[in-house]
Amino acid sequence: MKTSIGSKLFDAFNYTFLGLYGLATLLPFVYVVAGSFTSPQEFITKKIVLFPTQFSLEGYRYIFSTEVLLGSLGVTIFITIAGTAINLLFTCLMAYPLARKDLDGRRIILLGVVFSMLFSGGMIPTFLVVKSLGLINSYWSLLLPGAISAFNLIVLKNFFQQLPEGLEEAAKIDGCNDLRILWQIVLPLSLPAIATFALFYAVNHWNSFFQAILYINDNYKWPIQVWLRQIVILSSGGLGDSAVFDSNYIVPPGQIIKMAVIVISTLPILLVYPFLQKHFAKGALIGSVKG
């Protein structure tokens, strides 16, 4: 096939432009990762480092000498694991009955769920509910108020609906109750979908920040994202405050510490990303078509 000059020019532009766009998403990471591994001397003299020649772990050593940041990392890991478990349990338990078309009251519950996506009470009334339940300053305030995402629930319900009905009937005849059918037949068949939701929920918990600002006053219970804000954005996270940080080490420049905190708080996401990627495009599509 012949291609015109205009077409070739467009291709050249297109490949270059998208390549540059890809680089633009990558470069901030390269800069931050490189910076976090640079020795303070090199950082101060060169100012712009994309590839460190003097490798150093000062920033990380500094972070890991602080109890507060390590503790918050622990909080975040706990919230992510416990939160995802609660999300999956609640979502699966509710999605399965709603997928059964013969269930009385199913329509009204579904309507209620959809309505909650269109209208919400907003920040203050939700805060007052959490407060009146006595959850302020408790990890439950980070786990319960978001236990089910209405959107994920509906997507999973649709997914369950596609499974062949014969399987369930056969199990019923063998004397299984509905809970066992869900656990032993439906869930194993839905593992790819469940894995997608698990990853989405987990990323959400890992990144969650504002709930903690709202509901957690005690800074020893803060997740890492809140400290990240204190250190990187407000620059007042007790940096250089020797009451919080053991000053056994020379304090590296603020920029290096900030970069190291960013790397640590982003690393898990970048590690699961390759696994996530296999699934999410499909997951996002199921959601958009059927949602």
Among 9-17, 61-69, 77-85, 244-252, the segment contacting another protein (CB under 8 A)? 9-17
Cα(108)–Cα(76) distance, integer angstroms? 37
Cite the DSSP H helix spans in the chain. Answer: 5-36, 40-46, 58-64, 67-99, 106-118, 123-132, 140-143, 150-162, 165-173, 178-181, 187-189, 191-207, 210-215, 224-228, 254-290
Cα(235)–Cα(241) distance, integer angstroms? 12
Among residues 5, 45, 55, 124, the one that binds another protein under rule CB under 8 A: 124
Minimum distance between the CB of residue 131 and another protein, rounded to whole angstroms? 8
Backbone angles phi and psi of 161, in degrees to 5: -65, -25
**C-beta closer to another protein: residue 246 or 271:** 271
Contact between 111 and another protein per CB under 8 A: no
Restricting to residues 14-33, which ones interact with another protein according to CB under 8 A?
Answer: 14-15, 17-19, 21-22, 24-26, 28, 31-32
**Given the structure tokens 């509901």, which residue do they identify?**
215
Minimum distance between the CB of residue 65 and another protein, rounded to whole angstroms? 21
Rg (CA), the chain: 25
CA atoms within 13 A on the CB side of 139: 17
Which residues pair with residue 55 across a beta bridge?
38
Restricting to residues 58-87, which ones interact with another protein according to CB under 8 A?
Answer: none
Which residues pair with residue 38 across a beta bridge?
55
Residue 225's nearest CA partner among 233, 217, 139, 85 is 233
Among 57-65, 115-123, 189-197, 236-244, the segment contacting another protein (CB under 8 A)? 115-123
DSSP classification of residue 239: T
Contact between 53 and another protein per CB under 8 A: no
Contact between 284 and another protein per CB under 8 A: yes
Contact between 121 and another protein per CB under 8 A: yes
Cα(246)–Cα(227) distance, integer angstroms? 17
Contact between 136 and another protein per CB under 8 A: no
Contact between 153 and another protein per CB under 8 A: yes
Among residues 69, 182, 193, 239, the one that binds another protein under rule CB under 8 A: 182
Site string for another protein, 216-255 (x = CB under 8 A): ---------xx-xx--xx-------------------x-x
Contact between 206 and another protein per CB under 8 A: yes
Minimum distance between the CB of residue 43 and another protein, rounded to whole angstroms? 8
Contact between 170 and another protein per CB under 8 A: no
Minimum distance between the CB of residue 167 and another protein, rounded to whole angstroms? 12
Cα(287)–Cα(135) distance, integer angstroms? 32
Among residues 113, 185, 189, 251, the one that binds another protein under rule CB under 8 A: 113
